[in-house]
Amino acid sequence: MSVLLGCIADDFTGATDLASFLVQSGMRTVQLIGVPTEPVDLSNVDAIVIALKSRTLPSQQAVTQSIEALEWLKALNCEQYYFKYCSTFDSTDKGNIGPVTDALLDNLQEDFTVLCPSLPVNGRTVYKGNLFVNNELLSESGMRNHPLTPMKDANLLRVMASQSSGPVGLVPFEIISKGAKNVKKAFLELAKKHRYAVVDTISNEDLHTIGEACADLKLLTGGSGLSVGLAKNYVDKGLFEIRNNSAELSKVKGEAVVLSGSCSEMTQKQVARFKESFLSMKISPLELKSGQNSLANALAWFEKNRNAGALMFYATDTPDNIRRAQELLSVEEASELVENFMAELVAALSQRGVKKFIVAGGETSGAVVKALNPSVLKIGGSIAPGVPLTEMVGDVPKLIALKSGNFGDEFFFEKALEMMQ
Ligand code: ADP
């Protein structure tokens, strides 16, 4: 059976979030880091998510990369295509959600799609076309001060109209609440004069209604939530059977290493808790700079202790200590020293046979993934909401958990270890 759903995500963690939802809905899903340059084994895969890093690129570059990803997916003849963006519709004044959606529609020779960023379980809802973050309008939430994509207007019809080429319509809550058939009718009506439909979405049930109504659209666009109802559509069309084993990963033996470069409050708690039961080594950018600590030293410590159970390397520190390091070096140099160290360390550990990694920090995860350079990540069960266990597919499979900042609870590292057994 061929791949049913081909997705393009505008950032890495967003891709993982979507992939995790698809797995939960019973679809066997892999995540690709960028468009593959080598052939990829896609047997036993129902959905693919290509992770780009296009959210804040200049629009033209975002379009080029997204079209390249679409062309690659089109060669697989997917039943549907999905453009995944953030549930807070993160985009710059010039795009990129509008220009990329336009280009994808044109390339697929389609003239209508849906805009559904909502994720009610995380407090992202849309009412009368306005996006809410918990109880606040998007434009009154913290998102208005985002350093790269400040969202100063909560009205998605206006935001989309300002960065895209066609008229934007609304399927209001009154219609959504009447079920999928009515939503489908509303799409057909809107499509006569509009290119995009913003859909009001207040509850998880609404996402299922909208998903069902999208069964015949070639291109879908939204956050991860819109994906929840799609597996059922494929079942109804006789294309698919829900898989009970969609989250199954290879069994991998051996020791696990935690690498933490996140300094968020939750990560500080996770590190403190883990230290109570496992051996750990603290990494400081100042010590790396002065030569008091080094990769060679860390590897010697690892070799000495590798039989003592899971080990942790952490740069995680208090805000005061981070400030001090940033003042004595610079923000960039402190980050770079830690990120480069983690990247070199993970590569060296991998060479020494370590096959299980738990990584904390969005940027840190980016550096680690780049160093390990997997072509395919198979998505497994959730360790915490939005953070699945993943498998780097290859001759020697590796398990890896990547979590950014505040994800997970205090026991996240222990839970990840347990799921890796
Ligand atoms: P989060 O997801 O919590 O934001 P990130 O990994 O994205 O975590 O960002 C944390 C940044 O802080 C990284 O660039 C990391 O290298 C840097 N960093 C980690 N530890 C320290 C430290 N002790 N001093 C200064 N910078 C640090």
Q: Out of 271, 321, 338, 406, give the residue to mutate to test ligand 1, the one with the largest number of ligand atoms within 8 Å of its CB.
A: 338
Radius of gyration (C-alpha) of the chain in whole angstroms: 22
**pLDDT tens digit sequence for 160-219:** 999 999 899 999 999 999 999 999 999 999 999 999 999 999 999 999 999 999 999 999
Helices and strands (H and E) in the chain: how many = 15, 18
Q: What strands, in cross-sheet order, belong to the sheet with 124-127?
A: 124-127, 130-133, 136-137
Of the candidates 83, 374, 86, which has an alpha carbon nearest to the alpha carbon of residue 359? 374
Q: What is the pTM of this model?
A: 0.87
Which residue ranges form the domains of the chain, and what is each CATH number? 5-236 (3.40.50.10840), 256-419 (3.40.980.20)
Question: Which atom number of ligand 1 is nearest to the Cα of residue 338?
Answer: 16
Residues with CB under 6 A from ligand 1: 261-264, 267, 284-285, 315, 317, 322, 325-326, 334-335, 338-339, 361-364, 404-405
Q: How high is the pLDDT of residue 1?
A: 60
The single-letter code of the amino acid at 175 is I
Cβ atoms 1, 34 nearer than 8 A:
no
How far is the C-alpha of 240 from the C-alpha of 274, rounded, in Å?
A: 42
Sequence letter at residue 252 = V
- What are 100-109's pLDDT values in tens digits? 999 999 999 9
Give the pair of three-digit tokens for residue 319: 């805000």
> pLDDT truncated to tens, each residue of the chain (421 aa)?
689 999 999 988 889 999 999 999 999 999 999 999 988 888 889 999 999 989 989 999 999 999 999 999 999 999 999 999 999 999 988 899 999 999 999 999 999 999 999 999 989 999 999 999 999 999 998 888 887 888 999 999 999 999 999 899 999 999 999 999 999 999 999 999 999 999 999 999 999 999 999 999 999 999 999 999 999 999 999 999 998 999 999 999 999 999 999 988 899 999 999 999 999 999 999 999 999 999 999 999 999 999 999 999 999 999 999 999 999 999 899 999 999 999 999 999 999 999 999 999 988 998 999 899 888 999 999 999 879 999 999 889 999 999 887 789 999 999 999 999 9
pLDDT of res. 346: 98
Choose one of 363, 407, 412 to mutate for the ligand 1 pocket test, by most ligand atoms within 8 angstroms of C-beta.
Answer: 363
- The three-point CA angle 415-366-225 to 5° equals 65
Q: What percent of the chain has pLDDT over 70?
A: 100
Nearest CA to ligand 1 atom 6: 361
